[in-house]
Amino acid sequence: MSDQTRFTLNETDLPKQWYNALADSPVPPQPALHPGTKEPVTPDFLSVLFPMEIIMQEVSADRFIDIPEEVREIYKLYRPTPLIRARRLEKALGTPAHIYFKNESVSPVGSHKPNTAIPQAFYNKAAGTKAMTTETGAGQWGTSLAMACNFFGMDLEVYMVKVSYQQKPYRRIFMETYGAQVFASPSDRTDYGRALLAEDPDNNGSLGIAISEAVEAAAKSGGAKKYSLGSVLNHVLMHQTVIGEEALKQMDLAGEYPDVVIGCVGGGSNFAGLAYPFLRHNLRDGQRARLVAVEPTATPSLTKGVYAFDFGDTAQMAPIVKMHTLGHTFMPAGIHAGGLRYHGMAPSLSALYDAGQIEAVAVPQVGTFEAAVMFTRAEGILPAPESAHAIRVAIDEALDAKRKGEKRVILFNLSGHGHFDMMAYQQYLVGGLEDYEYPAEAVAEAMQHLPKVEMAEV
């Protein structure tokens, strides 16, 4: 065991391949279905939204996919990212546990999202794409794709969930600085957005709605625009595995191996990015690390959702996938300030959870921000509220180890900083945040609107 605090790699250690967990998953993947016919989607259908290289990665069974050199060169702006042992947090907690975190907040935009934004922009540019569309919630994804599209000389339209658009103006300004156009969703730019605003001019929006608008904008562009998603899909989670591949090397430098690996989950990208390479060691090498996905009680897709086929968006334009879902009609509570607002969970992650390969826990909002402030005061880094969900459970694990008097090696993903989330922190500091638990009866009602899929149990 090393007495270091910071474990760094150099550019020669930057991964040359992404890891595709589908190659080792004990659960065979369920096909994505056409939203209209409910038949398995074809490459022709997907090509309206994505370039062919992305489509092939989405369905690939190869264990490793080579990272293009052009992508690795841009990765070098911030990768490899450091692994930090949180010694000051350990001391504050008085725990015998060793707490490590992968610091993805050091990227130019302050989060893990460029790990997939850069390759997605690269593959689109290589395919001749001139402009892209996407959605964003808290703004981390939109900012990352705005940076990547700028690097590759492409235009970008971002549909930003209205409540975040209003709460986080600096994220919008950041995106616009890169050259992107940003619209509060629901907007008056799409047929779906206009229909929602006609029903409710004060609609706060949701990720499902923003996805619908971005998909519509691409699908109706006559091929002029392609769509990009920042989480959920397999190619996105695969691109994020650079996090875990680096962490494996860095834990070797630390002379320890994690007993538990923790990440927050909304759609699943940063958790999978850290945890999937450790899952590979569990499945292939006999390791027994616990893999814990942490979600808010306000959006509990794993812990309260149903594992079923559902639409990926609210307007029912995106493919139908089998996932843990709260229902595509889900609307997050307006008082929910911690991010992680998507109604569903990545299909690959959902399948692994259903098979018992990963664990899931839901944490309340006030306790999450309490953990965030504790971490900030100990380690000096202000975490994104999303990342703070992982911190909450890392602290809980460390306190459990303290109660039991046992050593425990804990690794979590600090998926981003919270420098643009100050309004949420201000609400917490003045006692203005409330806990909210999504009601089970709302989930049951939403299940009445799931698509009827005959092959749901195949």
Q: What is the pLDDT of residues 282-307, one digit of tens each?
A: 999 999 999 999 999 999 999 999 99
Q: Is residue 387 predicted with pLDDT exceeding 70?
A: yes
What pLDDT sits at residue 457?
Answer: 44
What pLDDT sits at residue 415?
Answer: 97
pLDDT class of 458 with cuts at 50, 70, 90: very low
Omega before 332 within 30 of 0, i.e. cis: no
Give the model confidence (pLDDT) of 170-225 as tens digits: 999 999 999 999 999 999 999 999 999 999 999 999 888 999 999 999 999 999 99
d(CA 300, CA 103): 25
Q: Is residue 151 predicted with pLDDT exceeding 90?
A: yes
Q: Is residue 62 predicted with pLDDT exceeding 80?
A: yes
Nearest partner of 117 among 242, 204, 250, judged by Cα: 242
**Packing angle of the helix pair 140-151, 169-177 (nearest 10 deg):** 10
Give the model confidence (pLDDT) of 64-75 as tens digits: 999 999 999 999
Domain ranges of the chain: 7-13+68-110+237-448
Cβ neighbours of residue 146 closer than 8 Å, sequence gap 6 or more:
156, 158, 174, 175, 178, 179, 180
Class of domain 7-13+68-110+237-448: alpha beta
Q: What is the mean pLDDT of the chain?
A: 95
